[in-house]
Amino acid sequence: MSRRPRAPLFPISVWPPFVDALTLVLAVFVLLMLVALLAQRGLVHRLRAREQELSSVREEKARVERRLRALAPRSAISIDDGKVILQGEVLFDSGSDALKPAGEALMTQIGHSLAALLAAESDQMLLVGGHTDDRPIHERFASNWELSVARALAVSRVLIQAGVSPARVVASGFGEHHPRASNQDEAGRAQNRRIEVLLVPIRSVSSR
């Protein structure tokens, strides 16, 4: 009696679907690798662009600071981190927001130079900041903050009269809250009584 042939284990060939599935997995793997590679290249590009932007900002700041240093021929003016710093006693009597004649003449001279500087730096404007020491006042101003605002406004008016466009000036008062030195002695308090004139990008203080 002849033996009946044994039926195949898989009546249908599994190789084509298996090969298709393997090809699909490989294609997905390759696609993921390409996506990762493109993302890495995009990140590197953004990092390089950021580095170039920071380098440009540093160069711009250094250029502006060099020009500001040309405004400091007198000992009454100092330049620190891009700021023109004028000690309060040079400009004002104690507790007053009225510029002394010598202080007004000095700010007029500086104003002419700043007007020329702003003409060359079309994207910059002036931030005039008033600062005081921490000693309370009991005269016409209710607080050191109000005195610092009034002094910043007084300086801004002289700068405008000297040729700086009003659209390129902002006045601000900081009171005693941003000291340069300790208020524990008179030398430190003298450093804290000051006017600071800083060039800042217009976009940082205006929606223009």
Summarised one tens digit per residue, pLDDT across range 120-151 is 888 889 999 999 999 988 778 889 999 999 99
The residue ranges of DSSP E strands in 119-180, in sequence order, are 124-131, 169-173
Query: Taking Cα atoms as reference points, which of 114, 92, 102 lies closest to residue 160?
Result: 114
Q: Using one digit for the tens of pLDDT, what is the confidence trace for 21-34?
A: 777 778 778 888 88
pTM of the model: 0.69
